Amino acid sequence: MITSPEGVIYTGSDDGDIRSWAAERQVILHFFKGHTKTISSLTLHGKKHLYSGSFDNDIRKWDAETGECLQTFRGHTDIVTGIAVKNDYIYSSSADKTIRKWNTEDGTLLLTFAGHTSWVWDFVVMEDGFHMYSCSQDRTVRKWNCTTGKCMKVMEEAKDCVCRIAVAKNIDGLGGTHLITASWDGIIREYRVDEGDEFKRELKGHSTKIKNIMVKGRILVSGGDDNEVRIWDLKHGKTVCVSSRH
């Protein structure tokens, strides 16, 4: 599920459909039909375009206001796990162990980022558009050149799947860009991207698999199979609140 700045909610489902909703009126605006299996990811690009990834291995570009399918991107051979739009390119990760870069206008496949040996679960394209970081079930985090598709560095070797990755900025008041990763080994790891991807620290608190993280300013929120949601102060690397009501 994602929400537009205008207050329209877009939801994907196991039935293969995407729906847009008027949040205040609680009514369905449009059905987006075309995928044949579970919707795995959604992202908006501006006000006009919605992109979706699916278990049917396809990526689709939609008119966000009408629900019309404008383009289908085909090339992945397994589940699409994530999508992101940067400038005039769309990036997609997949269970086929690759990340792919596409032209948003005509659907041309431009690059295939190959190197992971298992599912690619998540990735982030940096603001400069030149570098990308990905995480995988092969327990690694990799740094890529977005222009050449080459792997520049294998940064992390966790004890289990690295499932989520996020970017945090200026968390210590000194500027800088930090990379945050979450793993099924129950550990959150932090790197300083603008200082040679230097490993900084581990954040420990979850007792089992971490499944998701979200960064907002200096606050990190994590959720895991231990039924806990933890809120972290990234400046000090400490848990400030734990909800175990699930």
DSSP 39-82: EEEEEEETTTEEEEEETTS-EEEEETTT--EEEEE---SS-EEE
Which amino acid, one-letter code, is at 228?
A: E
Q: Would you state the pLDDT for residue 160?
A: 93
pLDDT tens for residues 116-174?
Answer: 999 999 999 998 889 999 999 999 999 999 999 999 999 877 889 999 999 999 888 87
Is residue 159 domain-shared with residue 241, that is, in the same domain?
yes
> For the domain that residue 177 is a member of, what is the CATH number?
2.130.10.10
Residue 153 resides in a domain: yes
| Domain-terminating residue out of 114, 146, 181 | 114
| Domain-terminating residue out of 114, 146, 165 | 114
CA neighbours within 13 Å on the CB side: how many for 223?
6
| Domain-terminating residue out of 114, 142, 170 | 114
Distances (CA, A) of 25 to 13, 22, 50, 67: 21, 6, 21, 19
Does the structure show a pLDDT above 90 at 196?
no
pLDDT band, very low/low/confident/very high, at 23 (cuts 50, 70, 90): confident
Closest CA to 180 of 107, 225, 122, 129: 122
Q: Would you state the pLDDT for residue 181?
A: 96
pLDDT tens for residues 60-102?
Answer: 999 999 999 999 999 999 999 999 999 889 999 999 999 999 9
Is residue 143 domain-shared with residue 59, that is, in the same domain?
no
Task: Report whether 105 contacts 121 (CB < 8 A).
Answer: no
Is residue 168 domain-shared with residue 83, that is, in the same domain?
no
Is residue 164 domain-shared with residue 185, that is, in the same domain?
yes
Residue 142 resides in a domain: yes
Locus of tokens 């990763």: 181
243, 204, 183, 202: CA torsion to nearest 10: 140
Does the structure show a pLDDT above 90 at 112?
yes
Q: How many domains does the chain have?
A: 2
Partners of 192 in the β-ladder: 178, 198
Does the structure show a pLDDT above 90 at 194?
no
Q: Would you state the pLDDT for residue 158?
A: 81
Spatial distance between the Cα atoms of 83 and 215, rounded to a whole number of angstroms: 18
Domain span at residue 150? 127-246
Is residue 102 domain-shared with residue 153, that is, in the same domain?
no
Would you give the DSSP letter of residue 235? T
Residue 119 resides in a domain: no
Residues in CB range of 223: below 8 A, 6 or more apart: 210, 211, 212, 213, 229, 230
Is residue 177 domain-shared with residue 71, that is, in the same domain?
no
